[in-house]
A and B are shown apart, each in its own frame.
Chain A
């Protein structure tokens, strides 16, 4: 059992707004008229399409093969026909397109044959491969592939289940814990065995007493060291590093992960997906999503991956004054560029925003370095310094002030009395730095290739010269050795040393050879005598052979 709780610095307490949707049980969302399944579920990795338009697929059938180290498989969320493989807008702040498989459901929702995976009898690699094939990624929002996280780091002592759900409005994990606590803990037990941890800690914010109660009841039936720990509700307690700090007191330094310190953290939704994948053999094809905000019927829905958002919204009934929709929470989420974007594995919440619920921010004022942001920052950074440097595009300095430790939680922007959109500046600076690094590595590669090409050209030139010289020497040797063809009337190869000019010597030798052949042919055709031939060759000789070496008769 856990002795006492620790705390992280900073943090804020925004209005939780959980009550709107926390009371409504998870219901399966009706089948949409079509599903747009992006092969790229996160910016990190993509999958390769393995189906063709017109092909019939069953629920859970693989449609995308994992590509690369961070790739995971993508599956058909329901049975139906693949109607298109094309580019569609992705649920991403950029509003850019990505390759998607469009499936028209047949309404039967028929599963492909699947069987539980015997993870205890399989090797660790096989089990990790299974998670990858089932498309299991972190469902907390970051969609980091779980097989990589499980496979990383040896000697992990503690597995933490993240049920904090600290962002306002979102209640999908809360409902999942209330309704499927036993499944979550079964998945957690599998994860614990796979990573070889001893203890299992479930961190839940104390504003979810029902979830804590349900998880505790389920935990009492579980074997091993399981404890459900209420943590103080303080945003961002659900941040990985923050939750690890609160539960274990371990502070993960810059550039390190929990795995380096014997702690690994998974979202409760991920644990549930792991249970479905291993215990039932079902790949990840749906997730729980909260529809809330400025709507008539806020609630939690079990939604198929690939369901277009505009087909989900009628379930909640957005009110007339809704002006935009946020995906994710109000702190870290983004406004949807379009409404036909599909739900992806990392989508946990859609908030319908209205000017009365989310009033437009007052005009930005100059920073007076009051330091409020530094007090609120859970990563213990100095946001105002980062702001100055990012704003001035002084990226080197921003990195010196540990810009990349920023988790973009938005606490600084929330408390800023000058209403500066601080996180926007950090995001801008981060993506600029990444772009520069990409350019730099491309330039380094180009330089290397250019230098190698020059070296190769030089080498080829040398090799060619050497080959030519060798050939010339060879031919001369042959000519000197071989008995003069066509009788006595062969013109001598001109006396040019191969060292001087191998090419010239080679040409001269070839000419001499051709002449000898010609002479021989002539003697055969016309039946002229040897003497005549000699005369002929003598007449031919001057332009080729030096005149002071008359051909011998």
Chain B
């Protein structure tokens, strides 16, 4: 009886120690699910989801605090991907968080700019260059189109310009069969 107890206790201790060691040794840094969700999000860092950036939103989704349909820049496709990843049902974009728009970049009217640096401070990806009392300008390839710089501008010199298609970004269309009018 006593031997059996001792043996069981011994096994429990050994296994417990092994598990405890493994928990420390093979600890997963960060939440891999958060990384996966973050990879789907468009990284505009616009805050339209009501979280301060894509990563916090990804964390909130992983925790279950936020729904998957709060990201307007990601659009319907983003929601579908999130639904696939998380095994949830697809739902349309929540209207209170905004609407899906074609990609645009910020444009500063350099004639009007007074050099207040407010937009520089607002830009989440440091895509605006300029200095106090100097003209500012947007580095177009870096702009994510988050619109965060539009509101702080005191002279309203920032507008969002839709990105036009170029020969390099042009895409072949999905082949469709033209339906001819019946003669």
Contacts and interface: CB of A to CB of B under 8 A. Distances in A.
A431 B172 contact: yes
Interface stretch (A122-130, A194-202, A442-450): A442-450
B45 interface: yes
Given A453-B124, A453-B125, A453-B126, A446 B171 contact: no
A438 B103 CA distance: 13
B111 interface: no
B172 A447 contact: no
**Counting chain B CB atoms within 10 Å of each CB, which of A94, A364, A427 scores highest?**
A94
A98 interface: yes
Contacts of B175: 421, 424-425, 428
Interface string B90-127: 00000000000000000000000000000000001111
Interface in A379-435: 421, 424-425, 427-428, 430-432, 434-435
Interface in B165-181: 165-175, 177
Interface stretch (B1-9, B20-28, B36-44, B63-71): B36-44
A98 B165 CA distance: 11
B152 interface: no
Contacts of A434: 171
A479 B54 CA distance: 50
B48 interface: no
Where chain B touches its partner, the secondary structure class is loop
A428 B126 contact: no
B137 interface: no
A449 B142 contact: yes
A188 interface: no
A438 B169 contact: yes
A98 B175 CA distance: 25
A96 B43 contact: no
B171 A450 contact: no
Nearest to A96: B167
A364 B165 contact: no
Contacts of A94: 165, 167, 170
A446 B42 CA distance: 9
A446 B177 contact: no
A445 B171 contact: no
A221 B104 CA distance: 62
Contacts of A427: 172
Interface residues of B, number: 27
A192 interface: no
B177 A424 contact: no
Contacts of A40: 167
A446 B172 contact: no
B168 A43 contact: yes
A149 interface: no
A363 B42 CA distance: 40
A428 B171 contact: yes
A48 interface: no
A446 B167 contact: no
A152 interface: no
A428 B169 contact: no
Contact of A432 (B42, B45, B55, B171): B171
A90 B167 contact: yes
A450 B165 contact: no
A445 B142 contact: yes
Nearest to A424: B175
Given A43-B167, A43-B168, A94-B167, A450 B173 contact: no
A280 B172 CA distance: 41
B172 A428 contact: yes
B86 to A, nearest CB: 19
Interface in B44-87: 44-45, 53-55
Interface string B141-183: 0101000000000000000000001111111111101000000
19 contacts: A43-B167, A90-B167, A93-B172, A94-B165, A424-B175, A425-B175, A431-B171, A432-B171, A438-B169, A442-B144, A443-B41, A443-B42, A446-B44, A447-B38, A450-B43, A450-B45, A450-B124, A452-B126, A453-B125
Interface of B: 38, 41-45, 53-55, 124-127, 142, 144, 165-175, 177
Given A438-B169, A449-B142, A450-B43, 7 more contacts: A96-B165, A421-B175, A425-B175, A439-B42, A443-B41, A446-B45, A450-B54
